[in-house]
């Protein structure tokens, strides 16, 4: 069996709904997962579990195994990281309390971005972003979409590059919860803490090694092997770090909606015989 190819895993442990910056409602997301033949789907909205009840109902109806999850922004030194809490108890008070605190920080940041855009003369985009978020977890993606809708930017990518990134005129750094607090809250909810898209933080290799050491020492369980289109050397870096530090791997598409670059269920390929975070979740029989 050792030489058999890696089977296609019908599993997606990173996705967004309209509860944060995704385009599909939790129900539509689960319907799509069923249509794509996914055996398991984790809903991981930014800093909120508010889509979970609706997703759970739809999952029951469509025979999809729903893994309750959340993607939590976390501050490590001067860097903003994204930590996935997977297989969490959505009723956990400790986690809900942490996310409540984060929500206040997030909405303060959103208002500060809106104020900056207004001062830059893009008041319509600011209003549009608040409208688009519709009371959901407000993030920079909403501002990017609003800047496109109001014809300030030709694409969301351009909106980020010109206005929303660190160092750009409408950037506001988030006052996020610390990495330590985030991992503790995920653990308090019985979940696995997984560093999302590890190659997307624009940090040096040395800092990446330091981060993984810190993440593991805080009891973090895994590294996401994502996004789907990784370079070979990026795959090597993630898999190597996971093996060196006893971390499992996770797979997810980071799906935000139809028409975006990545489709639901589209993940990287898992190398054979690597530890995975879902080992003990009973997903496959």
Residues that bind Mn ion (CB under 5 A): 21, 71, 82, 141, 196, 254
Least distance (Å) between residue 70 CB and Mn ion: 10
Least distance (Å) between residue 23 CB and Mn ion: 11
Closest to Mn ion by CB, 119 or 128 = 128
Q: Which residue minimizes CB distance to Mn ion?
A: 82
Closest to Mn ion by CB, 5 or 168 = 168
Least distance (Å) between residue 156 CB and Mn ion: 11
Least distance (Å) between residue 16 CB and Mn ion: 5
Closest to Mn ion by CB, 166 or 282 = 166
Closest to Mn ion by CB, 106 or 187 = 106
Q: Nearest 10 degrees: CA dihedral of 238, 144, 109, 226?
A: -10
């Amino acid at each position: 069996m050792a030489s058999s190819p890696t089977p296609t895993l019908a599993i997606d442990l990173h996705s967004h709904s309209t509860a944060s910056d995704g385009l599909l409602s939790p129900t539509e997301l689960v319907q799509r997962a069923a249509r794509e033949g996914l055996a398991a789907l984790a809903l991981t909205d930014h800093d909120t579990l508010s889509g979970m009840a609706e997703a759970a109902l739809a999952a029951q109806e469509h025979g999809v195994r729903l893994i309750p999850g959340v993607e939590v922004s976390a501050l490590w030194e001067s860097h903003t990281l994204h930590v996935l809490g997977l297989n969490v108890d959505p009723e956990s008070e400790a986690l809900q309390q942490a996310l409540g605190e984060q929500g206040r920080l997030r909405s303060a940041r959103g208002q500060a971005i809106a104020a900056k855009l207004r001062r830059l003369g893009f008041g319509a985009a600011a209003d549009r972003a608040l409208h688009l978020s519709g009371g959901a977890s407000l993030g920079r993606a909403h501002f990017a979409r609003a800047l496109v809708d109001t014809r300030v930017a030709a694409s969301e990518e351009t909106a980020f590059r010109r206005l929303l990134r660190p160092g750009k005129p409408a950037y506001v750094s988030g006052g996020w919860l610390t990495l330590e607090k985030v991992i503790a809250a995920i653990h308090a909810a019985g979940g696995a803490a997984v560093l999302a898209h590890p190659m997307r933080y624009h940090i040096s290799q040395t800092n990446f090694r330091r981060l993984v050491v810190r993440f593991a020492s805080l009891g973090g369980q895994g590294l996401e092997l994502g996004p789907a289109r990784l370079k070979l050397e990026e795959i090597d870096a993630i898999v190597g770090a996971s093996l060196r530090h006893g971390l499992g791997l996770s797979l997810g598409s980071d799906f935000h909606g139809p028409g975006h670059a990545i489709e639901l269920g589209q993940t990287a390929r898992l190398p054979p015989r690597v530890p995975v975070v879902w080992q003990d979740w009973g997903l496959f029989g």
